[in-house]
């Protein structure tokens, strides 16, 4: 699995994961996600469109990141459209804990920092 982080012109930080998110690779996603969470900082978007497997450990990582974002007062969104990611989120109820978008552009804040930005 690879995980990258990059700031966007909209002010958000996008963390992109590609490959399998399981007990071996989940800690990498967690480390990169937590490293890009700053109190009252920019929105964090976790792009999971390149994920080919999301195991229990990966779900746990997303839960940890969600709780950390809430504690830091940071907006966290997920980008996912594949069944391999959406199904485990739905089965565990985590789909109700996150703003989930099917496209990255939909997850990014609006220019100008309005109510959604």
Question: What count of Cα atoms within 13 Å lies in the side-chain half-sphere of residue 31?
Answer: 8
Q: Is residue 45 part of a domain?
A: yes
Give, in order, the Cα–Cα distances in Å from 28 to each of 18, 73, 113: 11, 22, 30
**Total domains, the chain:** 1
- Cβ(67)–Cβ(36) below 8 Å: no
Question: Which residues form the domain of 23?
Answer: 2-106
Tell me the whole-structure pTM to 2 decimals: 0.92
CATH number at residue 99: 3.30.750.24
Question: Is there a contact between 100 and 78 (Cβ–Cβ < 8 Å)?
Answer: yes
Q: What is the pLDDT of residues 4-61, one digit of tens each?
A: 999 999 999 999 999 999 999 999 999 999 999 999 999 999 999 999 999 999 999 9
């Amino acid at each position: 699995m690879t995980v990258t982080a990059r700031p966007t012109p909209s002010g958000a930080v996008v963390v992109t994961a590609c490959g399998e998110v399981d007990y071996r690779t989940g800690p990498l996603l967690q480390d990169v996600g937590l490293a890009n969470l700053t109190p009252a900082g920019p929105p964090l978007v976790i792009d999971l469109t390149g994920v080919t497997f999301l195991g229990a450990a990966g779900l746990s990582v997303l839960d940890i990141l969600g709780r950390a974002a809430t504690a830091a007062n940071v907006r966290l969104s997920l980008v996912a459209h594949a069944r391999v990611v959406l199904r485990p989120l739905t089965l565990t109820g985590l789909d109700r804990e996150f703003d989930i978008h099917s496209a990255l552009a939909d997850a990014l804040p609006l220019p100008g920092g309005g109510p959604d930005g």
